[in-house]
Structure 1
Amino acid sequence: MRIPMILAGLLGLASAMPCMAEAGDARDPEPNTLVPAGVRHHAATGFPDRIVATPAEDAARGFAVAWRTDVRVDAPVLEIVVAGDSPDMGTPRRLTAATQALETENGRAHHHRVQVEGLEPGTLYAYRVQGDRTWSPWMQIRTAGDATEPLELLYFGDTQNKNASLTTRVVREALRHAPDARLVLYAGDLVSGGDGEDDTEWGEWFEATDALSTTMMSAPAPGNHEYFEEFEDTPRERRVLGAHWPLQFALPSNGIETPGAPTTYWFDYQDLRVVVIDGTSALDLGTATAQARWLDGVLAANPHRWSIVLLHQPFYSPRADRDNVPLQVELQPVIERHGVDLVLQGHDHTYGRRGADDGGATPVYVVSVAGAKQYRLSPDAKETMAPVAEDTQLFQVIRIDGDRLRYEARTATGRLYDAFELIDGGTGGKQRQELTEGRIGERLCPRAQTLKGRADRCWE
């Protein structure tokens, strides 16, 4: 079955030959951001920006909102009201935000957050947030409905770099294919970080994802690039969570206890439980055992038909020399024992899918990438995963309707790359059905090296 797919992929690549980044390519590598050095394009102002809604533990009853302003704004308010067809939606409820300061290369800013509780399930709300004598536009978001209602959600692998330039198009194409999406999952490494322009990178991430962040609930997993190396190249070197994470995302505080901010958490959305785990903390900070114990309890208490585990580093890596052993030893047995449906991952900047070692329908393990950085597949991944892809920006649409979960992976231009359905047969367990109609052929990297001359990557 793989030979026709490879031939189709090679035929598709032939048309891209003029774009190959070989030694004679005269193009310059694109910078990581669109902002010239020394320019404070993303400095905070009195106008609210970086607005993002995140789910409460029970997404039918609440959500949280975080946003940013300059330091003139302290303890602003959020207004919320049931959305209506008239511009007169009635008197809104007002909630005062908690505020924290952050100093970055773009200057000092205030980050605000509000937890909105006591909402009605399946209800469309309008909300806005306050700045300095200013307000954001009214934005609309719907709480989770009944467990029997269909659910559409999006999943993105690493966005990481060149977000304004190249992630934007993926997000907008995703919205064309999932116009009813209510929830978006990010598998970590939202930005690259650690290069002196962290805040500008976050500004571009919010620019790229603004249409999602304000109108549906966003659930990010932390990646290794959300951390930084403190005391690097010294005996005191250690991983530390970056300053932006705890201020920019108001996440549920129901994970394992960690200093600074939650990087593990769970929430329920209709007939789905989503559990976010922190691969970097498990691998580098020794929390794998604690996370496994916590994960076991969260999955055991799941009252819903469907479950998703979201994390950054893969259990099965499609890139060479990346065996994440503590994840495999501590956390993977918990996931397989509880029959998690989807394990959604990033980190390796390629695409790869595989099932459990015992051949069961679930869990289905997926690694994907939305951003510009593209790695190469390992020989083992080409033998053990299908489909796989290099040199391809992707987004994923997941639809849950009763006893069926449909998964689609699409390219940045909207072409169908991978698709399957999970069907819950009740006492007979879940079955996986491959959906091959309309899928394009396998995509492999056509370049011998990147524009910077790196042969270990396909694009940077």
Structure 2
Amino acid sequence: MLHLKKSKKQIIALCLTAALSIGSFTAYAATEHWNDASTKPQVTTKTSLSDDTNWAQWKAGWDNLKTNYQQVALTPGADFSKLNFGWYSEKQSDSAIVRIADNKEMNNAKEFKGTCQPGAVINGVQYYSNKVTASGFKPNRTYYYQVLLNGQWQQAQQYKTGDPENFSFIFVGDPQIGSSYKQKNTESNGKKLGNDMAARNDSYNWNITLNKAMQQHPEIDFLVSPGDQISVTGDESPNALKEQEDQYSGYLSATVFRNLPQANAIGNHDCSTPAYKYHFNNPNTFSDESTPTPAGNGYYYTYGNALFIVINSNNFNAADHKALIEKAVKTYPDTKWRIVVMHQDIYGSGLDHSDSDGTILRTQLTPIFDANDIDVVLQGHDHSYARTYQLTSDGQPHDNFTEYTQGQNGDNHDKFDDLFDNNSVFRAYYKSQNLCYNIADKSQGTLVNPEGVFYLTANSATGSKFYNLIPQQQDYIAARNQNWRPSYSVINITADKFSVTTYDVETGAPIDETYTIIKK
């Protein structure tokens, strides 16, 4: 009989256990590699994309920036014609209001109203979560928007629409602002940075990444993240919530977000508190989840001829994800491209998760993706880059390990951690059951009407934390990379083509060949 140790963690939800359990795989950990902002060549001139890219100036302004909790986040609407807004305010109003115009003076602006509900309490101050959906946007136009914040109209910001028949988005992995907290440098006097200095460092690098990406690829229309926008997890104590909100301020401080919508998944570092759902106004939220996390739910939206389904994979109940995917497909049955975004990489190549907790849903999700004709799955979690061949389910019965994934208190997943770490028989059985796929097509470059699903795992976009690659490259991996530098992918979608190229932030050069799928 297998011995299961009793958990001593104070767990409020399953996702919190998922976040904490990562540390239980003690053989693996974040490496000594990280992106130290204090050692980089400093930019001394301002650009149109950055208000401040000088490290000394950034440090001087950090105390004000990190407490700027009332920044606006743009999110794609349910379809191309809509745009969602979310922001905090210190004052409550009957309605949150945004106005849209085709001129910077906001003449003849149209107002859109939404909700203003109690949100986070930060340092004893009650903030309110404001959410508005604006509509009527047309392709290839320039618009301006203003939000009403605490009774005052804020400065007008520009929003440009692209072409829904030929659009591009940036895919970034695990910004995880504050994740460098265990690192050391000269500015920390050889001690660990801690949460505040780490958030300052990682927020700066986040700005640099997005500024460079937009300079190198101005065609980008919106951003997709597979989760872990921030780093601090834990209970909802005032100190933990304050550190989380400081990190969200650093994350949202990226200047490009004034003009660039973002569609984020919930990561295991986001999911333990409601802050995520207070900040982001996601479309078509799937409130029917039976075991949701405190951060909220999955959601879906369309952009042109592509359907994006964002699942909250910190909820290990695959039945919820099946229901969400089927609802999205039923709502938009005629979209040509179907893309799933999720945090855990069920087909990745990182040392920390790709053969352990990252694959806990593989046997369940793989056939669901096949049954719903999913084309692409975008993943994070492993802080290393990998892309697969075209994969399908093998159609054979496999253990779903549901006894270790169901429930709200997380105790069952603790049992999984314990078994995987300490019982070699269970570990071998678990890995054998995860051989639940077929490699349907090993072609590279451009594929025409391929069978199967393509999986892409992103490395860290900030360099706040990097993981090693697994020593033995899995047979399903076509290419992988860990050069200890931040990267991002640019994905272009047209009526019949999906293509992705991944770039090194520092050099702007591709780290892998372009992968293209053509559907005729």
Normalising to structure 2: TM-score of the pair?
0.64
Asked whether the equivalents of residues 354 and 386 of structure 1 are also in contact (C-alpha less than 8 Å), the reply is: yes
- Given residue 359 of structure 1, which amino acid in structure 2 is its aligned partner? A
- Given residue 273 of structure 1, which amino acid in structure 2 is its aligned partner? L
- The equivalent of 1:9 in structure 2 is none
- Given residue 244 of structure 1, which amino acid in structure 2 is its aligned partner? A
- The equivalent of 2:226 in structure 1 is 187
Secondary structure in 2 matching 1:268: strand
2:245 aligned to which of 199, 220, 230: 199
Asked whether the equivalents of residues 173 and 488 of structure 2 are also in contact (C-alpha less than 8 Å), the reply is: yes
Distance of 1:256 and 1:330 partners within structure 2: 21
- The equivalent of 1:400 in structure 2 is 493
Secondary structure in 2 matching 1:381: coil
> 1:86-112: per-residue Cα shift (whole Å, max 9, x none)?
736324325254232321248432321
- The equivalent of 1:12 in structure 2 is none
- The equivalent of 1:125 in structure 2 is 143
Asked whether the equivalents of residues 173 and 380 of structure 2 are also in contact (C-alpha less than 8 Å), the reply is: yes
Distance of 2:259 and 2:310 partners within structure 1: 21
- Given residue 341 of structure 1, which amino acid in structure 2 is its aligned partner? D
Residue 74 (str. 1) matches residue 121 (str. 2)? no
Q: How does 1:42-81 map to 2 (within 5 A)?
A: 42-44=66-68, 49-60=70-81, 62-70=82-90, 72-75=91-94, 77-81=96-100
- Given residue 74 of structure 2, which amino acid in structure 1 is its aligned partner? A
Asked whether the equivalents of residues 404 and 421 of structure 1 are also in contact (C-alpha less than 8 Å), the reply is: no
Distance of 2:68 and 2:516 partners within structure 1: 45
- Given residue 158 of structure 1, which amino acid in structure 2 is its aligned partner? D
Identical counterparts, % of pairs: 20
> 1:332-377: per-residue Cα shift (whole Å, max 9, x none)?
1121344422211100111111121333344221111213200111
Secondary structure in 1 matching 2:439: coil
Could you tell me which runs of 5 or more consecutive residues in structure 2 were left unpaired when the two chains were aligned: 1-30, 40-57, 178-198, 235-239, 392-437, 442-449
- The equivalent of 1:453 in structure 2 is none
Asked whether the equivalents of residues 154 and 181 of structure 1 are also in contact (C-alpha less than 8 Å), the reply is: yes
Shift of 1:274: 0.5
- The equivalent of 1:215 in structure 2 is 259
- The equivalent of 2:47 in structure 1 is none
Distance of 2:477 and 2:124 partners within structure 1: 43
Normalising to structure 1: TM-score of the pair?
0.72
> 1:295-348: per-residue Cα shift (whole Å, max 9, x none)?
134346531222211000011131234254442122111213444222111001
Residue 342 (str. 1) matches residue 376 (str. 2)? yes
- Indicate how the Cα distance of structure 1 residues 179 and 40 shifts in structure 2: closer, same or farther if over 3 A, else same: closer
- Indicate how the Cα distance of structure 1 residues 191 and 381 shifts in structure 2: closer, same or farther if over 3 A, else same: farther
- Given residue 93 of structure 2, which amino acid in structure 1 is its aligned partner? D
> 1:258-305: per-residue Cα shift (whole Å, max 9, x none)?
4566421111100111110111112xxxx2122123313434653122
Distance of 1:88 and 1:100 partners within structure 2: 29
Q: How does 1:273-312 map to 2 (within 5 A)?
A: 273-282=307-316, 287-299=317-329, 301-312=332-343
Secondary structure in 2 matching 1:224: coil
Distance of 2:171 and 2:107 partners within structure 1: 33
Shift of 1:175: 0.7
- The equivalent of 1:317 in structure 2 is 348
Distance of 1:170 and 1:318 partners within structure 2: 23
Shift of 1:76: 6.0
Distance of 2:143 and 2:296 partners within structure 1: 26
Distance of 1:261 and 1:119 partners within structure 2: 29
Distance of 1:105 and 1:366 partners within structure 2: 39
Distance of 2:105 and 2:283 partners within structure 1: 32
- Given residue 52 of structure 1, which amino acid in structure 2 is its aligned partner? A
Distance of 2:285 and 2:106 partners within structure 1: 37
Q: Which shifted more, 269-278 or 311-320?
A: 311-320
Shift of 1:405: 1.9
Asked whether the equivalents of residues 252 and 262 of structure 1 are also in contact (C-alpha less than 8 Å), the reply is: no
Q: Which shifted more, 218-227 or 300-309?
A: 300-309
Backbone CA RMSD of aligned residues? 3.1
Q: How many residues align?
A: 371
Distance of 1:273 and 1:383 partners within structure 2: 29
Residue 417 (str. 1) matches residue 511 (str. 2)? yes
Q: How does 1:219-368 map to 2 (within 5 A)?
A: 219-228=263-272, 242-255=273-286, 257-258=288-289, 262-282=296-316, 287-299=317-329, 301-320=332-351, 321-355=355-389, 356=391, 357-360=438-441, 361=450, 362-368=452-458
Q: Which shifted more, 196-205 or 329-338?
A: 329-338
Secondary structure in 1 matching 2:220: coil
Distance of 1:219 and 1:55 partners within structure 2: 7
Asked whether the equivalents of residues 265 and 342 of structure 2 are also in contact (C-alpha less than 8 Å), the reply is: yes
- Indicate how the Cα distance of structure 1 residues 109 and 293 shifts in structure 2: closer, same or farther if over 3 A, else same: closer
Residue 140 (str. 1) matches residue 184 (str. 2)? no
- The equivalent of 1:376 in structure 2 is 468
Residue 150 (str. 1) matches residue 162 (str. 2)? no
- Indicate how the Cα distance of structure 1 residues 382 and 94 shifts in structure 2: closer, same or farther if over 3 A, else same: closer
- Given residue 333 of structure 1, which amino acid in structure 2 is its aligned partner? P
Distance of 2:295 and 2:357 partners within structure 1: 27
> 1:198-249: per-residue Cα shift (whole Å, max 9, x none)?
11111100113x41x3323211000100123xxxxxxxxxxxxx12111101
Asked whether the equivalents of residues 83 and 140 of structure 1 are also in contact (C-alpha less than 8 Å), the reply is: no
Distance of 1:108 and 1:350 partners within structure 2: 38
Asked whether the equivalents of residues 187 and 310 of structure 1 are also in contact (C-alpha less than 8 Å), the reply is: yes
- Indicate how the Cα distance of structure 1 residues 277 and 331 shifts in structure 2: closer, same or farther if over 3 A, else same: same
